[in-house]
Structure 1
Amino acid sequence: MSQHIGEITHRSVSSPAGRAGHGRIHLVEQGSGPLVLLVHGFPESWYSWRHQLPVLAAAGYRAVAIDVRGYGRSSRPVATEAYRMLDLVADNVTVVQALGEESAVVVGHDWGAAIAANSALLRPDVFRAVGLLSVPYTPRGGPRPTDAFARMGGDEEFYVSYFQEPGRAEAEIEPDVRGWLTGFYAALSADTMPAPGAPDPHFVSRGGTLRDRFPTGRLPAWLSEGDLDVYAGEFERTGMTGALNRYRNMDRDWEDLAALDGAPIPQPSLFIGGKLDTSTTWLADAITAYPVTLPGLTSSHLLDGCGHWIQQERPDEVNRLLTDWLAALPA
């Protein structure tokens, strides 16, 4: 069943049978032409691509933004292991096929960048090019992820480790979803992030919570009260477990993807990051390694004065870079 809102169409497609059985993926579609699949990160939804959908449509593309499983109007399987990377890649393939297409360009932000990268790696027959926003491509490898994260921070706890225990982060977030999201978005936005030298909001002090270090007092410039209503309304309805379960599968992914250890992505690729985003500063070595890990890279940019929420903080610049890159791809 489709619902038309202006030029945007909302619909759901059936996701494949698997560990969690049949489910559905909600998507938002605009335009016609070659398919561009947009995959959001944490803690967001299809709505994070609201500035890209009309621009891609106007440029002659079929732009489709999904709610990743566990988010929004997509299915939220109960089993934690139903959120492993293999399942999310299968969801992306299902969306392409359900739309009657044989191939797509996949573009992801944050966790969506990792999902997009693995979609390109595992299904090069479907995903002909890949765009990565904010989080650089880092091939599978190294120690078990939870072991690596546990060694970070000294006496403090890295947020990924904090997210591992089911129910723990939920107990912090769900009593005040709107307030927590406001602080989390502000902590990683260029105009509201903590000053250099302030306690790092990616870490939790022993016995503390993440929000202890979130900035307070104002919204980032890119986030209106109406935008916050959309994000908070979805998570107030769904809870946070589906979104957090992505973090709880990092060790399973490490095991599932062992055959791809160190694998490069050969398809044409794009990277756009923010210079003030810890994703690009902590993973600077991954960006330096792109000639080896992304041999098909044709466009790479670090935006001055930009934080983590790149396609919302700097929509005009991201749209220009994205459409220029798409226009230069082989037919």
Structure 2
Amino acid sequence: MPQPPATDHDRPVHRLVPSPAGRIHLVEQGSGPLVLLVHGFPESWYSWRRQLPALASAGFRAAAIDVRGYGRSSRPGAVEAYRMLDLVADNVAVVEALGERSAVVVGHDWGATVAAHSALLRPDVFRAVGLLSVPYTPPGGPRPSEVFAAMSAPAGPFAGQEFYVSYFQEPGRAEAEIEPDVRGWLAGFYAALSADTMPPPEAPDPHFVAAGGRLRDRFPADGRLPSWLTEEELDVYAGEFERTGLTGALNRYRAMDRDWADLAAHRGAPITQPSLFLGGDRDASTTWLSDAIEAYPATLPGLTASHLLDGCGHWLQQERPEETNRLLTDWLAGLPG
């Protein structure tokens, strides 16, 4: 049954709503046009804790979900249950369960890719899309697993090193590294990609694993948390993953070749709805994918705002919450309808 919106702008409300995954957990705040917030890896609805009250105060109904496999949402067992088509179906189901016919969808990291494909595949539901940190790249091109493997080939640019996505794609391998010390691993991963704690340019790249090594071997050695993350906030993230394990989250990486096949009919397709892009200029997602940003006139013809935040790393809405909130609410306020 559709559920009424929260009426207290100052009080976030937790809900469980039906979806193809089983159930999706979300946290909702505010009333007005619906804005669906989709997190990335390794995060949860909690990544939007600083956006929920800001959007509510600006006159929007904000709903931050736990993506399937995370937090209090259902965790299907099969890898193929984490393909993009299913994640898009979950987003549609959330909009319907909240009694709405349309929404703006905003995502960060993997959530940006899920948001983009939600807009691409269901323009009847998602009237606009905001992308944080990860640019839109249309479906198509070579098979993802082959691209990542080629990066580590003897003649490739990173010979003798393995890209983290390939590392994550092997079932059980990353779990064996992470799950014995979830809190410590998360702290290092967050620090490695944050502007104020990331390794210097001359250090080994934390996106790659040395032969016979672990990803955490390249995390910052001083153990310092990034400025946006308190010990108590880290406890929230760690507590969720200690309870659920990491397999559901990592299965998103393991479904990428399935996406490549599922979305073949949409090869090169643009997203035509109004769109927003926010990135950090110290984030590898924006530097490595600079060609995707340059292609926006063709791939995001409805782009109405694009900003690179100076001195910002990957965790954009947490590293720069006030700036992100301002840019996001300004964009939302200017949308038609």
TM-score scaled by length of structure 1: 0.97
What residue identity is the alignment partner of 1:8?
A: P
Matches within 5 A, 1:116-131: 116-131=115-130
Unaligned runs of 5+ residues in structure 2 are 152-157
SS at match of 2:297: helix
SS at match of 2:312: coil
- The match for 2:161 among 144, 156, 161 is 156
**Contact 2:39 2:65 (C-alpha < 8 Å) held by counterparts:** yes
- Tell me the equivalent position of 2:176: 171
What is the CA-CA distance between 1:58 and the residue it aligns to?
0.4
Using the alignment, how far apart are the partners of 2:184 and 2:11 within structure 1? 32
Using the alignment, how far apart are the partners of 2:147 and 2:10 within structure 1? 47
- Tell me the equivalent position of 1:285: 291
What is the CA-CA distance between 1:6 and the residue it aligns to?
5.8
1:311 aligns with 2:301: no
- Tell me the equivalent position of 2:235: 229
- Tell me the equivalent position of 1:95: 94
- Tell me the equivalent position of 2:186: 181
- Tell me the equivalent position of 1:7: 11
What is the CA-CA distance between 1:246 and the residue it aligns to?
0.2
Cα distance per residue 1:123-168 (max 9 Å; x no partner)? 0000000000000001111110000000112110000000111100
What residue identity is the alignment partner of 2:78?
A: A
- Tell me the equivalent position of 1:19: none
What residue identity is the alignment partner of 1:264?
A: P
- Tell me the equivalent position of 1:210: 215
Cα distance per residue 1:26-50 (max 9 Å; x no partner)? 0000000000000000000000000
What residue identity is the alignment partner of 1:10?
A: H
Given the superposition, is the C-alpha separation of residues 5 and 43 from structure 1 closer, same or farther in structure 2, using an over 3 Å criterion? farther
Using the alignment, how far apart are the partners of 1:40 and 1:244 within structure 2? 14
Matches within 5 A, 1:47-58: 47-58=46-57
- Tell me the equivalent position of 1:248: 254
**Contact 2:161 2:210 (C-alpha < 8 Å) held by counterparts:** yes
Given the superposition, is the C-alpha separation of residues 218 and 5 from structure 1 closer, same or farther in structure 2, using an over 3 Å criterion? farther
SS at match of 1:246: helix
What is the CA-CA distance between 1:197 and the residue it aligns to?
1.3
Using the alignment, how far apart are the partners of 2:140 and 2:288 within structure 1? 17
Using the alignment, how far apart are the partners of 2:99 and 2:18 within structure 1? 13
TM-score scaled by length of structure 2: 0.95
| Structure 1 runs (4+) greater than 4 angstroms displaced | 1-6
Using the alignment, how far apart are the partners of 1:69 and 1:173 within structure 2? 19
1:106 aligns with 2:105: yes
- Tell me the equivalent position of 1:76: 75
Cα distance per residue 1:161-188 (max 9 Å; x no partner)? 0011110000000000000000000000
SS at match of 1:273: strand
- Tell me the equivalent position of 2:39: 40
- Tell me the equivalent position of 2:304: 298
What residue identity is the alignment partner of 1:160?
A: V
**Contact 2:183 2:234 (C-alpha < 8 Å) held by counterparts:** yes
SS at match of 1:204: strand
Using the alignment, how far apart are the partners of 1:133 and 1:5 within structure 2? 24
Using the alignment, how far apart are the partners of 1:235 and 1:37 within structure 2? 23
SS at match of 2:255: helix
Matches within 5 A, 1:187-202: 187-202=192-207
What residue identity is the alignment partner of 1:309?
A: W
Using the alignment, how far apart are the partners of 2:79 and 2:194 within structure 1? 30
**Contact 2:9 2:29 (C-alpha < 8 Å) held by counterparts:** no
Using the alignment, how far apart are the partners of 1:293 and 1:197 within structure 2? 34
Using the alignment, how far apart are the partners of 1:55 and 1:164 within structure 2? 36
- The match for 1:266 among 234, 258, 272 is 272
SS at match of 1:55: helix
Cα distance per residue 1:263-307 (max 9 Å; x no partner)? 000000000000000000000000000000000000000000000
Using the alignment, how far apart are the partners of 1:197 and 1:70 within structure 2? 36
Unaligned runs of 5+ residues in structure 1 are 17-21
Tell me the percent identity.
80
Q: CA RMSD in A?
A: 1.4
Using the alignment, how far apart are the partners of 1:173 and 1:131 within structure 2? 30
